[in-house]
Amino acid sequence: MNGPDPEQNAGPGATEQETAPGAESMPGAESAAGAESGPMNPSKPGPDTTVRLAAMKRAIGDAERVIVLTHDNPDPDAIASAAGLGFLVQKAFGLPVTLAFGGIVGRAENRALLDELDLPFERAEDLEFPSTAAVALVDTQPRAGNNSLPAGQIATIVIDHHPERAESSAAAYSDVRPEYGACASMIVEFLRASKLEPDRQLATALFYGIQSETMDLGREASQAEIDASLFLYPRSDPAAISRIRHARVPRAVYRSIHTGLEHAWSRGEVVCVPVGRLDYPDIVAQLADLFMRVDDVEWVVAAGRYRDGLYISLRTFDPGAHAGDLVQNVVGDRGSAGGHGEMAGARIDVGRLSVVEYEELLDSLFDEFCDQLGVSDQPRIPLIPTDTAGELESVADPEDEQ
């Protein structure tokens, strides 16, 4: 792995004394700032982070290399966390690193992030896991059903921010913090405790990973995400962030949006979005986020099929919700599921189902979600009525603009 050189500053804004334009106006800047802290020097990790680092190094032991594995079809938080942990292991522990993931990176923004990061990620399906290598899972956990950790392989390290699974206790070092909004924030704490300075590429990836995971610090963000963002932003490349955020997208995305708009329906404040066939799995999550912007919507359940898998994404604005528990209750033993309070996902193997059986399963899942959310007694109506002419006229009425 060709990691960033910590001894090289990232250009303007890379030193503790300089202030990046606009950093002081970021959300949480005032709360993070204090007598000895500010936009360029936010609250530093506590001494427990140093203890965690020492425990991680002991867990690796005499391994000859470290394989860092993300969840399948990784999102920006997973990609950035893997890159950051790889950099840490290489620089602080002096070991070679292999970065890997299963599945594909389909979303345009995620592909752009990989391009900007310019690090080689291996396909987990093509990778050997020798006994001389330590395996680190980031943004996922053993037997979660969403990663390509080989059956029977015990992870050496687990770093995640999802609710803890019992299987993680088998790892020599398990660090699971569901109170964090992003896995990348944990990695940033490790880098700072190790006094490792990320270069602009890595800082940009970590910053974007946190912003993407927390919707710009507006979803499940803790003080750790604020502190990490304040630390990273002056070291990042704003132009690269813009290129990632506004990456050109394939036409398949618009085809899925069109299908979702045509077939989405609601019961009360719950919107169900059957997307149909997908060109890549994370279109479902992309559409779930998109439909959360509809007026008067509190929950979105989006679902679509990629190859032999039915992918489900759940979103809500309710900070006290338990989306992860909800999706696990509905999916049960039919597939793998998990998530946070406001966002969750699942995958069900549907490769052996006929078209009719698949449609029946999908309808029953939507019905079960509505039942769990207490809206099953409300009428099912199209999200966008067929006849919207009157609506459009009222919007375009010049008198409304006066």
User: How deeply is 376 buried, as exposed, middle or buried, from its count of CB atoms within 10 A (0-12, 13-18, 19+)?
Assistant: middle
Q: Is residue 345 part of a domain?
A: yes
pLDDT, residue 388, reads 54
More confident: 39 or 35: 39
Q: Do residue 144 and residue 260 come from a single domain? A: no
Task: Report the alpha-carbon distance of residue 255 to residue 107 in Å, rounded.
Answer: 14
Q: Is residue 271 part of a domain?
A: yes
Q: Is residue 395 part of a domain?
A: no
Q: Do residue 211 and residue 358 come from a single domain? A: no
Neighbours of 54 (CB within 10 A): 10
Task: Report the alpha-carbon distance of residue 170 to residue 165 in Å, rounded.
Answer: 10
Q: Do residue 257 and residue 124 come from a single domain? A: no
Predicted confidence (pLDDT) at residue 7 exceeds the cutoff of 80: no
pTM of the shown model: 0.83
Q: Is residue 400 part of a domain?
A: no
pLDDT, residue 43, reads 80
What would the mean pLDDT of 391-400 be, rounded to a whole number? 48
pLDDT, residue 102, reads 97
Q: Do residue 140 and residue 184 come from a single domain? A: yes
Which CATH number is 294's domain given?
3.10.310.40
Q: How many domains does the chain have?
A: 2
Q: Is residue 392 part of a domain?
A: no
Domain containing 71 equals 23-244
Task: Report the alpha-carbon distance of residue 272 to residue 274 in Å, rounded.
Answer: 7
Q: Is residue 159 part of a domain?
A: yes
Q: Work out the mean pLDDT of the chain and round it to a whole number.
A: 88
Q: Do residue 187 and residue 300 come from a single domain? A: no
What pLDDT, in 10s, does the model give residues 221-276?
999 999 999 999 999 999 999 999 999 999 999 999 999 999 999 999 999 999 99
pLDDT, residue 320, reads 87
Cα 284 from chain centre: 13
Confidence band for 33, pLDDT divided at 50, 70 and 90 = very low
Which CATH number is 77's domain given?
3.90.1640.10
The rounded percent of the chain whose pLDDT value lies above 90 is: 82
What would the mean pLDDT of 366-376 be, rounded to a whole number? 98
Q: Do residue 258 and residue 278 come from a single domain? A: yes
Q: Do residue 184 and residue 327 come from a single domain? A: no
Q: Is residue 343 part of a domain?
A: yes
Q: Do residue 232 and residue 278 come from a single domain? A: no
What pLDDT, in 10s, does the model give residues 264-280?
999 999 999 999 999 99
